[in-house]
Structure 1
Amino acid sequence: MNFFKKIFSTKYNKFQKAEVLLKEQSPSCPITAIVEQDNRVAYFYLWGPENSNFGVKSCWIRNLKEAPIELEKKLMDKGIPPMLPKEFCKYPEGEEKLDENDLKIIWTEEGDSAALLVKDEIASIITIWSGQNGFFGYAKNCLGKGNFAWELTESNAFVKRIKKSREYWSSWKNDLNPFQTQQPIILKAYDESFGNHDKYYAIDGNKWPPKGLYLRIGESKTIFATVGLSLVTMPMVEMYSENRFDSNRIELGIILDSVFSQKDIQQIAEWISGQSAIPWDNITFLGEGHTINFKPFNSTKFNSVVLTNAIDILPKPELDDYRESKINFFWMVPISEKERNEIMNNGSEEILTKLNKIGDKVFSLKREEVI
C-alpha cells in the first residue's frame, strides 16, 4: 500500500520494496495509518477509503542513508519513495532503521489526524490539512519547510493537542468512562427541556462508541434525541471553521406530530442510529442547514430532513460544553424533495425562514410544502 507506486525496474533493483512496519485503523473513522520503510527512507501515511475525499496523505519520517543534495525526481517518477534533501535534514548522514516494536500511533480526538511515536516521542504528525499547498505534515528530524515534511518543534500547538488526545483515548479504559459520566448529564438536560423520558434505547449495536436514544411519547407528539454523539468530535470541521470548538460536537433530535406504534418507533430509532454515524463513517461533519435522507416511513413527500436549531418553536436543550467544545443540538425537520432542492441550490436560509412561520406544523408529515 505504498503511496508511491511500488514500480521497481531492473535499473532500480538496488532499492528494496518498502516493508510495512505498522498498520492501524482510526478508532472513529475509516482511515488507516501505515508506517513503511525500505533500505533508504521511512514514511508515515494516512489512507482514506476510495469513495471518500480524504485520499492518501504522506509524511517523511527519516532518511536511513546519507541524504541527497537535490530532490530525487527521477526516483519519484519510478514510484520509489524519495529521501529528503540534505538541507532539510537534522541528520544528513542518515539514521538507523525503525524498529516496529518502538512505534505507536496516537490519533486526534477527531480520528482524522494522527501522530507517530518512536520510543514514545513524537516523530511525525499528519494533520487533516496535510497534502495541501506543499504541506505534507510535521517531522521531528526535519529542518525548516522540507519537500515532504516541515520541522516539528516543541512549540507546535499540535504537540499539546496530541498529548490531550492521548489522555482522551486513555479515559475510555477507565472504570468510569466518558459515556458513563456524560450520559446522565445529557439525559437530565433533555428531561428538563422536553419532559421526563418514557424510554431509553441503546443505539450503538454493542459497538464503540456507545450511543443512546431518549424517547418521550406525548399525547400528540413523539420526541427522539440522541445521547452520546457529542463525546466524539466530528472529523473535517477545522477545514471549514475558524474555531473547531464551536461546531465539532453534536446531538440530534426529531419531533413528529403523531403517536406511533412500537414498530414505527423501532423504525425511527434504527434510522436515527444510522444517521448518527454519518460524520465518522463518511469523514465529514453535520451542521446547521445540512440535509440528510429521511426513510423510516418511505414517505413519498417528506423524504429528507434539514438540520437546524433556528426555528423558534423547537425546544433548545441547554447542554454544557464538553472538553472545551460547545455541544450543538440540531433538530431534524422533515422536508420535501422540492424544499431540499431549494436548500441545495440556494442555501437553507429562505426555507428555514418559511418553516419558522408555520409554527407547530413543522412537526407534521401532512403539512403543505413551503415552496
Structure 2
Amino acid sequence: MGFLKKKSSSKETEIQEAEVLIEQQSPTCPITAIVEQDNRTIYFYLWGAEGSNFGVKSSWVRNLKKAPQQLETALMEQGVPPMQTEEFCIHPNGSEKLNKDNLSIIWLEEGDGAALLSNGEVISIIASWAGQNGFNGYSKEAKGQGDFAWELSDDNALYDRVHASKEFWDAWDLEQSPFNILQPKILDTYDEIFGEQDNYFAIDGNEWPPKGLYLKKGESKTVFATVGLSLIPMPVVEMYTENRFDANRIEFGFLINSPITDEAVQQIGGWMSAQTTIPWHNITFLGEGHTIEFMSLNSSKLNFVLLTSQLNILPEPNIEKYRNSITNFLWMVPISEKERQHIIDNGSETIIEKLNEIGEEVFSLDRAEVI
C-alpha cells in the first residue's frame, strides 16, 4: 500500500520490502490506516477509498538507521519512502524497530484522522488537515517542522482529542451507549416543537451508527426529522471553518404539505435515510446553503433540496450541544434545477429571500420557481 519498493543503488545497504505492521479501517469513513516498516524507516498512512477526494496522507514515524543530511530525492523519485533528514530527527542515529504486537490505532471522532500508539503511548498523529502547507503529520521522533513529519510536542492539543476520542469509542461498549442517551433528548425536542410523534423509524439498516427518523403527520403539514446524525461529527469540517464545534454536527428536517400518502411517506423516509450517509461515505461535510439531489416525487420539477435554517417560516428545533458542539438542524427545502444553479453561481441568499416571500408555498412540491 505504501511507496513502490525498489532496491537502492547505494553500496551501503539494500532497501528491503516493507512489512505491514498494522492495518485498520476507519469506523466512519472509507479510509484505511496502515503502518509500514522496512529496514530503514517507518511510515504511517491514511488511504482514502479509490475515487474519493481524500487521496493518501503519509507521515514519517521514525528512522531505523542514521539519518541523511540531505533529502533522499533520488530514492523518492524511485518511489522509495525517504528517511527524515538529520536536522529534523530527535534521534539522528536511528531508533529501534516497532513491534506489531504493541501497536494500536485510535481514530479521531470524525473518522478522517488517527493516532498511532505503541504500548499505549501516542507516537504519531495524522490530522484531517495533513497534506497541506508542508504538513504531513506529527511524530514523537521528529524535531521542528521536518519535510515528512513535524514534532509532536508534549503540549500538542491533539493529545486531548485522541484521549477524548478513545473515551467516545469506548462508550459504545457501555450499557448506556451515546445513542441511548442522545435519542430521547432529541425526540423530546421534536415533540415539543412539532407535536408528539406519530411514528418513529430506525433508518440505520441494523448497522452502526444507529439512526432514526421522527414523523409527525399533521392536518396541514407532515414533518420528518432525523435522530442521531449528530452523534458523529462530520469529517474535514475544520479544513474549511474556523471553529469546528460550530459546524461539525447536523440533523435533517423535511416539511411538506399534508395530506400525503403512506407510499409517499415511505419514499421520503427512504430518501432521507440515504442522505444521512453523505458526509462520512464521501469524506465531506454538509452545511448551510449546500444543495443535494432530491427524489422524483409526483413529477415535480423540484428535484434538488437546499439545506438551510434561514427560512423564517420554518421552526427552529434547539437541540442541546453534544460534546461541546452545536447541532445544526438543517431543513431540506425542495428547489428546482434552475434555482440550484442560481445558488451555485450567486450563493443562497437571494433564493432564501424569495422563498421567505412566498411563505407556506415552500411546503408545496407544486410551487412556481422563484427565479
Scaled to the shorter chain, the TM-score interval is over 0.9
**Residue 303 of structure 2 corresponds to residue 303 of structure 1:** yes
Retained in 2: the 8 A contact 1:267–1:296? no
**Residue 206 of structure 2 corresponds to residue 200 of structure 1:** no
Instruction: Give, in whole Å, the separation in 2 of the partners of 1:47 and 1:209.
Output: 22
Instruction: Give, in whole Å, the separation in 2 of the partners of 1:101 and 1:14.
Output: 26
**Residue 150 of structure 2 corresponds to residue 150 of structure 1:** yes
Which stretch has the larger CA shift, 193-202 or 287-296?
Answer: 287-296
Pair 141,9 (structure 1): closer, same or farther in 2 beyond 3 Å: closer
Pair 93,143 (structure 1): closer, same or farther in 2 beyond 3 Å: same
What are the ranges of 5 or more consecutive residues in structure 2 without an aligned counterpart? Answer: none
Question: Which residue in the other structure is 1:29 paired with?
Answer: 29
Which stretch has the larger CA shift, 208-217 or 294-303?
Answer: 294-303
**Residue 165 of structure 2 corresponds to residue 165 of structure 1:** yes
Partner SS for 2:20: strand
**Residue 14 of structure 2 corresponds to residue 6 of structure 1:** no
**Residue 100 of structure 2 corresponds to residue 116 of structure 1:** no
Deviation, structure 1 residue 262 = 2.0
Retained in 2: the 8 A contact 1:268–1:296? no
Deviation, structure 1 residue 7 = 4.2
Instruction: Give, in whole Å, the separation in 2 of the partners of 1:298 and 1:70.
Output: 66
Instruction: Give, in whole Å, the separation in 2 of the partners of 1:254 and 1:7.
Output: 56
Instruction: Give, in whole Å, the separation in 2 of the partners of 1:5 and 1:270.
Output: 44
Question: Which residue in the other structure is 2:179 paired with?
Answer: 179
Cα RMSD of the aligned pairs, angstroms, is: 1.4
Partner SS for 1:207: coil
Retained in 1: the 8 A contact 2:71–2:84? yes
**Residue 42 of structure 2 corresponds to residue 42 of structure 1:** yes
Deviation, structure 1 residue 259 = 2.1
Instruction: Give, in whole Å, the separation in 1 of the partners of 2:300 and 2:31.
Output: 36
The count of residues paired between Structure 1 and Structure 2 equals: 370
Retained in 2: the 8 A contact 1:43–1:61? yes
Instruction: Give, in whole Å, the separation in 1 of the partners of 2:194 and 2:296.
Output: 23
Retained in 2: the 8 A contact 1:15–1:38? yes
Write out aligned runs for 1:278-289 (5 A). Answer: 278-289=278-289
Retained in 1: the 8 A contact 2:142–2:151? yes
Q: Give the AA of the match of 2:180.
A: Q
Pair 255,92 (structure 1): closer, same or farther in 2 beyond 3 Å: same
Question: Which residue in the other structure is 1:355 paired with?
Answer: 355
Q: Give the AA of the match of 1:40.
A: R
Instruction: Give, in whole Å, the separation in 2 of the partners of 1:343 and 1:59.
Output: 38
Partner SS for 1:20: strand
Partner SS for 1:6: coil
Question: Which residue in the other structure is 1:57 paired with?
Answer: 57
Deviations 1:312-371 (A, max 9, x none): 110111110000000100100000111011011111010011001110100000111100
Q: Give the AA of the match of 2:48.
A: G
Partner SS for 1:358: helix
Instruction: Give, in whole Å, the separation in 2 of the partners of 1:93 and 1:10.
Output: 21
Partner SS for 2:76: helix
Pair 11,157 (structure 1): closer, same or farther in 2 beyond 3 Å: closer
Deviations 1:123-145 (A, max 9, x none): 10101111111111110011111
What are the ranges of 5 or more consecutive residues in structure 1 without an aligned counterpart? Answer: none
Instruction: Give, in whole Å, the separation in 2 of the partners of 1:235 and 1:121.
Output: 25
Retained in 1: the 8 A contact 2:140–2:152? yes
Retained in 2: the 8 A contact 1:35–1:42? yes
Partner SS for 1:109: coil
Q: Give the AA of the match of 1:360.
A: E
Write out aligned runs for 1:1-371 (5 A). Answer: 1-2=1-2, 4-8=3-7, 14-297=14-297, 299-371=299-371
Q: Quote the sequence identity (%).
A: 60
Which stretch has the larger CA shift, 242-251 or 295-304?
Answer: 295-304
Retained in 1: the 8 A contact 2:246–2:325? yes
Q: TM-score scaled by structure 1?
A: 0.97
Retained in 1: the 8 A contact 2:25–2:31? yes
Retained in 1: the 8 A contact 2:254–2:333? yes
Instruction: Give, in whole Å, the separation in 1 of the partners of 2:349 and 2:34.
Output: 43
Partner SS for 1:165: helix
Deviations 1:47-102 (A, max 9, x none): 11222221110000111111112211111111111111112111112111111111
